[in-house]
Amino acid sequence: MHRLTVVDSFTDKPFTGNPAAVCILEQPIDDDWMQAIAREMNLAETAFLLRDGNDWGLRWMTPTVEVDLCGHATLAAAHVLWTEWHLSGADTIGFQTRSGRLTATQKGRLIWLDFPSTPPRQVSDTGGMASILGAEALWVGHTPYDYLIELQDEETVRHLTPDLSAIARLGGRGMIVTSQSTSKQFDFVSRFFAPAVGIPEDPVTGSAHCALSPYWSARLGLSELTGGQLSSRGGTVRTVLMGDRVRLGGHAVTMARVEMVV
C-alpha cells in the first residue's frame, strides 16, 4: 500500500501553481509500478522518494515517461518531508537524482532549491517557429532539454495558442516561451509546453527557470529575478543566478492525501 501527498507548488494559494504527487517509499519498487502510479495520478509529475544514507533518492515521472529534472515536484517533495516527516526547518535536504545532487533549504515559508543552470544557446530559425507559435520569434535558443523562444511582449505570451503536435515533433522535452514582463510583480513571464512527454502545458515549471534565469539575468543585468508563469493556474518562481547554479524559490501548499489500496 502506498500513500501519496498532493502539493500545489510555486504558490501560496490552493488550486493554483503546479500540482505534484509525492510518494515516500519504504523500499525500492518496480519502475513499471512507479510509472503506473504516475499515470494513475495523471499530474505533470509524481515524485518518488527513498532514503539514501543522509540524503533521499528522488525520481520524477510524468504520466508517460521518467524525466531528468523537475523543479515543482522537488519543491513538493521537500515540503512533504518538512511538514509530514517533521524534519527540522533548519536542515538542508539533499536529493540524489539523475541530474546530480540537488538541495532544498527553508527561509521562513519560502523553500529554496539549488539546481544546475542550463543556459540556452542561440540556434538558427528559418521561420518555422513563427508557423508553430502563430507569433514572431525574436530569439530562438536551445537548452539541454528544451527550446527557448523570446516573443514580442507579455500579451503575446499570455494569449499564445501554439501547434502542440508540431512542438511534439521538434524533439527534446518541450518549448519555453518568454518575454519581459510589463508588470511590477515580475521581471519576466513564460509558458511551457511539453506534449512529447505527456504535458500539453505545464502550469509552473521550475526546471525551465534554470534556463530563464541565466537568459534574463544576461538581458537585464540582474542576478535576482522573479518569474511569472502565465498558465491558467499561474505561479511565481524566484530565481538567483549563482555561476553554474540557480536557486529557485517558491511556496507550497498541501492539497490532498491519497492512499492506494492496490
256 Cβ contact partners less than 8 Å away, ≥ 6 residues apart: 5, 6
Q: 45, 150, 154, 201: which one is catalytic?
A: 45
Query: How far is 132 from 202, CA to CA, in rounded Å?
Result: 18
Residues in the chain: 262
Q: 45 an active-site residue?
A: yes
Residue appearing with cell numbers 540556434: 123
Query: How far is 252 from 160, CA to CA, in rounded Å?
Result: 27
Alpha helix (H) residue ranges in 43-202: 71-84, 128-133, 154-158, 164-169
Residue 176 and residue 182 in contact, taking contact as beta carbons nearer than 8 Å: no
Return the amino acid letter for 169: R
Q: Give Cα 89 distance to the centre of its chain.
A: 23
Tell me how many degrees the CA angle 204-159-205 measures, rounded to the nearest 5: 10
Query: How far is 226 from 183, CA to CA, in rounded Å?
Result: 11
Query: How far is 212 from 192, CA to CA, in rounded Å?
Result: 11
Q: Which residues does the annotation mark as catalytic? A: 45
